[in-house]
Amino acid sequence: MTSSMPHVALLAGGISDERSVSLSSCTGIADVLRARGHEVTFIDVGPDITQTIAALKAARPDVVFNGLHGRFGEDGAIQGVLEWLGLPYTHCGIRASSLAMDKAATRLVLQAAGLPIANGKMVPIQDLAAADPMPAPYVVKPSDEGSSVGVSIVRVGSNQRAEIARQWRFGPEALVEEFIPGRELTVAVMGDRALTVTDIQANTETFYDFEAKYSAGGSTHRVPADIHPEAFEAALSYALTAHRALGCVGATRTDFRYDDTKGNGPGRLTILEVNTQPGMTETSLLPEQAAYCGISYQDLCGWIVDDALNRARTRQARHTHA
């Protein structure tokens, strides 16, 4: 007896620095989709894309759950492969994925939409090695990595700058932005709904880096965030506006810095980035916010699959009646 539920091909792993994160997320996703009644084909994506294509063709799924993170997984690359194969897939399409992965391009789109971004610029690595590109403290980050990979803070009196430049492996330029004091906030969006605001407190001496994000006890999440009500509502609005401005669909997560260090007012909100492939372990930020809103982890995974199928059906209907 075969399941009447759609057959899902789950893309996991990948070849970015976030491979382990993806594999961890996808193990849980596979379990809950199977519990929901889906046939799930788990595809561990490696460096040979022809093997992934062959696995997808052999599986002949109804929909692909894109569980990849980082380069080639959320930058439009795998989305292009899936479009070529004519397979419906979860999360954002080629253009939105590519835009959101490129922090410099994202800054331009968000700025054009009237959204708050940090003061910053792209800087050639040799210029960073030679001198401070802006007054310290400032943040140095790759333009096209996720999960805080390659992010450093250069503080006043620090001798880090030359060492960061010497070890840089993310291309000829770095994005340099002002360091904004305060807290790290995030807002998840599902479709046309911003869920809530989470206050992320890193339990490390640095900032909300890769270790704080993915190590046990690395951070504490307060849901909902205890912040000024005007800032809370603004964060929800900004996240939904950013989601739409970039052309995103499905589930995304927008990360903010929130400076409330100067008094009792609403403070300053600044968008850091928009994540088109949010982490999907049961304790990740998106599932955590969904649970707060009464959406179980199983229902969240199911919604992501159903959303992808509904978009594919709508697109097919448009082509049929064109």
Under DSSP, is residue 80 helix (H, G, I), strand (E, B) or coil?
helix
pLDDT of residue 219: 78
pLDDT band of residue 29 (cuts 50, 70, 90) is very high
pLDDT of residue 146: 61
pLDDT band of residue 210 (cuts 50, 70, 90) is very low
Q: Give the least confident one: 25-39, 139-153, 159-173, 174-188.
A: 139-153
pTM for the full predicted model: 0.90
* SS3 of 41-57: EEEEECCCHHHHHHHHH
Instruction: Give the mean model confidence (pLDDT) for residues 249-253.
Output: 98
| Count of C-beta atoms within a 10 Å radius of residue 37 | 11
Q: What is the pLDDT of residues 83-131, one digit of tens each?
A: 999 999 999 999 999 999 999 999 999 999 999 999 999 999 999 999 9
- Pick the more confident residue, 71 or 13: 13
| Identity of the residue numbered 263 | G
Q: Which CATH number fits domain 100-117+181-276: 3.90.470.10, 3.40.50.10800, 3.30.470.20, 3.20.20.150?
A: 3.30.470.20
pLDDT band of residue 303 (cuts 50, 70, 90) is very high
pLDDT of residue 51: 98
pLDDT at 209 over 50: no
Q: Which CATH number fits domain 8-91+297-321: 3.40.640.10, 3.30.2350.10, 3.40.50.20, 2.60.40.420?
A: 3.40.50.20
In whole angstroms, give the CA distance from residue 59 to residue 7. 9
pLDDT at 294 over 80: yes
pLDDT band of residue 264 (cuts 50, 70, 90) is confident
In whole angstroms, give the CA distance from residue 150 to residue 167. 10
pLDDT band of residue 204 (cuts 50, 70, 90) is low
Cα atoms in the 13 Å half-sphere on the side-chain side of 26: 26
The residue behind tokens 């008094």 is: 263
Q: What is the pLDDT of residues 211-249, one digit of tens each?
A: 544 445 567 999 999 999 999 999 999 999 999 999 999
Paired strand residues for 176:
121, 140
Q: Which of 278, 13, 273, 276 is nearest to 143 (CA)?
A: 273
pLDDT of residue 212: 47
Instruction: Give the mean model confidence (pLDDT) for residues 174-201.
Output: 96
pLDDT at 253 over 90: yes
Catalytic residues: 18, 147, 214, 253, 255, 273, 275, 279
CA distances 121 to 14, 134, 141, Å, are 30, 9, 11
Domain ranges of the chain: 8-91+297-321, 100-117+181-276, 120-178
In whole angstroms, give the CA distance from residue 253 to residue 182. 19
Q: Which CATH number fits domain 120-178: 3.30.1490, 3.40.960, 2.60.40, 3.30.450?
A: 3.30.1490
pLDDT of residue 266: 94
Task: Please state at what angle helix 94-101 crosses helix 103-112, rounded to 10 degrees.
Answer: 100
**Assigned token pair, 296:** 């179980």
In whole angstroms, give the CA distance from residue 306 to residue 38. 12
Please say whether the beta carbons of 89 and 81 come within 8 A: no
In whole angstroms, give the CA distance from residue 120 to residue 298. 40
Q: Which of 50, 2, 10 is nearest to 27 (CA)?
A: 10
pLDDT at 9 over 80: yes
Please say whether the beta carbons of 7 and 36 come within 8 A: no
Task: Beginning with the edge strand found earlier in the chain, give each strand of the sheet holding 120-124 in spatial order.
Answer: 120-124, 173-178, 138-141, 152-154
pLDDT of residue 321: 66
Mean pLDDT of the chain, nearest integer: 92
The residue behind tokens 């054009």 is: 112
In whole angstroms, give the CA distance from residue 269 to residue 153. 19
Q: Which of 315, 316, 318, 309 is nearest to 88 (CA)?
A: 309
